Amino acid sequence: MSLTPYLPALPVQPYYSLLPNLLLSRQPLQFNTPGVRFPGSHAYSLSSLPPSSLGVIDDSEIRISDLDHIFYDDAPTQSVYLVVHTEHGNPRERHWAIRWLVYNSRTQQIAARCLEVLANYNRTRLINWGPFTNASRLYPSPIAVYDLGSFTASQRQELEKIGWNIPVPAPDGYYNCQNWVAAFLGVAVARGLIRQSVVVNALQWASQTVISNPSRGPFPRPPPRPIA
């Protein structure tokens, strides 16, 4: 059964053609290489897929700033959220992402650990840069979030492994960040990390024209701009 006109049925059957390296085995994902450097970047890909399958096709692309060396994802448990940017009236045009909070115990500051695809510099295709930590992703406004549940540190690492290995098809005028998130959640269901009922409810909620009971959850509002 299709959940919406835009998203195929769950959990993972529609994505077999996109996910050749992901099986339904619940063993941890194994990376085929110790890391391939992204073109034009000091960052390494930890995906079993080549950078081109993640949308990185030339050295003009620069990976988004990653603050994972400052904000550590070491909380014993942490809630993980489906985040919807709600500024567009058309639900199909809204950005979707998977995020959770990470902390710097020394400064008591927080940031967001992010699993999502982003447009390239001239907005002609999407790129999966792998998991990244970014403070600005806390503050997009307006957003609404859906709590996918509490995950242990090891479970969050499994989510990151899945995120590394969800490819990005060539632009076709249809596939967008929502399809990527749906694929990610479908594989997480198949690997026993999230209940299928939770994902079905989350996608139905996120696909509404007017999202019911919108909440920012733990993500703070943007700080006020200073008065000139």
Helix boundaries (H) for 116-207: 153-164, 177-190, 196-206
Rounded to an integer, the average pLDDT of 139-150 is 92
Binned at pLDDT 50, 70 and 90, residue 36 comes out as: low
Alpha-carbon distance of 51 to 104, in angstroms, equals 30
Are 72 and 103 in contact, with CB atoms under 8 Å apart? yes
Q: Are 191 and 162 in contact (CB under 8 A)?
A: yes
More confident residue, 34 or 227: 227
Q: Which secondary structure element, helix H or strand E, spans residue 81, and what is its range?
A: strand 77-85
pLDDT band at 226 (very low <50, low <70, confident <90, very high): low
pTM: 0.83
Q: Region 15-33: what's the mean pLDDT?
A: 39
Which residue shows structure tokens 């999230």?
A: 194
pLDDT digits 0-9 by tens, 110-120: 999 999 999 98
The residues spanned by each domain of the chain are 13-26+63-206
- The residue among 40 and 85 whose pLDDT is bigger is 85
Question: Residue 167: left (phi > 0), alpha (psi -120 to 50), or beta?
Answer: beta
Give the pLDDT band (50/70/90) at residue 218. Answer: very high
Amino acid at residue number 181: V
CB count in 10 Å sphere of residue 182: 26
Q: What is the pLDDT of residue 32?
A: 42
Which stretches of the chain are DSSP H helices? 153-164, 177-190, 196-206
pLDDT per residue over 119-136, tens digit each? Answer: 987 788 899 999 999 988
DSSP assigned state of 212: S
Mean of the per-residue pLDDT values for the chain? 79
Tell me, what's the pLDDT at 23? Answer: 39
| Predicted pLDDT of residue 159 | 94
Q: Which residue has the tokens 């390494």?
A: 44
pLDDT of residue 221: 81
Cis before residue 5, ω within 30 degrees of 0?
A: no
Question: Is residue 11 predicted with pLDDT exceeding 70?
Answer: no
d(CA 64, CA 111): 14
Q: Quick check: 206 and 96 in contact, CB under 8 A?
A: yes
Separation CA 95–CA 143 (nearest Å): 10
Residue 15 has pLDDT above 50, yes or no: no
Strand blocks (E) in 105-171: 109-115, 118-119, 126-127, 132-134, 143-152
Q: Which of 26-30, 156-160, 198-202 has the lowest mean pLDDT?
A: 26-30
| Mean pLDDT of the region 25-54 | 62
pLDDT band with cut points at 50, 70 and 90 for residue 220: confident
